[in-house]
Structure 1
Amino acid sequence: MEAGQDEFARSAPRQAGFWATMRAVLWSFFGVRKRQAYLDDAGSLNPLAVVVAGVLAGAIFIITIVVVVQLVLA
């Protein structure tokens, strides 16, 4: 590997995986984050993955609420 490619590999931000994206979305639902964690996520999260994870987490939240209400009213 050439020296320029090695420097690029070290400086390129890593893309966050599925669980890191879900963790960031769930923390945003809670509403409390440390600044450093936010900055780390901002550099590594894919915006499309965040939207998909947010829709998925929102759907799971709504389904959970509906199931709990159905159980209470049964």
Structure 2
Amino acid sequence: MSMAATPGKPSFWRTVKAVAWSFVGLRARGDYEEDVKNLNPLHIIVVGLIAVVVFVAALVLLAKWMVAH
């Protein structure tokens, strides 16, 4: 049983992977074009906003931890 999404059907995991690769800035053109065709823009926005909140919270916690030590 494969956990990969079927082509043409958006999935949560596929959206998370696309947003994560966007944060890093590395994405193959073919993968990007496939994402554009298959992912729901609303899902990308929601996952992106959640990722930004998690990233900022991690930076704040890291900064507080560094100041405390």
Relative to the length of structure 1, the TM-score reads 0.79
Alignment of 1:19 onto 2:18: no
Corresponding letter in the other structure for 1:16 = P
Greater helix percent: which structure? 1
Alignment of 1:48 onto 2:42: yes
Whichever of the two has the greater Rg, that structure is 1
Return the offset for 1:64.
0.3
* Percentage identity across paired residues of the two chains: 39
Return the offset for 1:17.
0.6
Runs of at least 4 residues off by over 4 Å: none
Question: Structure 1, unaligned stretches of length 5 or more?
Answer: 1-12
Relative to the length of structure 2, the TM-score reads 0.84
Question: Structure 2, unaligned stretches of length 5 or more?
Answer: 1-6
The alignment partner of 1:58 has SS state of: helix
Residues matched between the structures, number:
62
Give yes or no for contact 1:15–1:46 (8 Å, CA) kept in 2: no
Give yes or no for contact 1:21–1:45 (8 Å, CA) kept in 2: yes
Alignment of 1:73 onto 2:54: no
Q: Deviations over 1:13-70 (max 9, x none)?
A: 6232111101000101111110110011111100000000000000000000000001
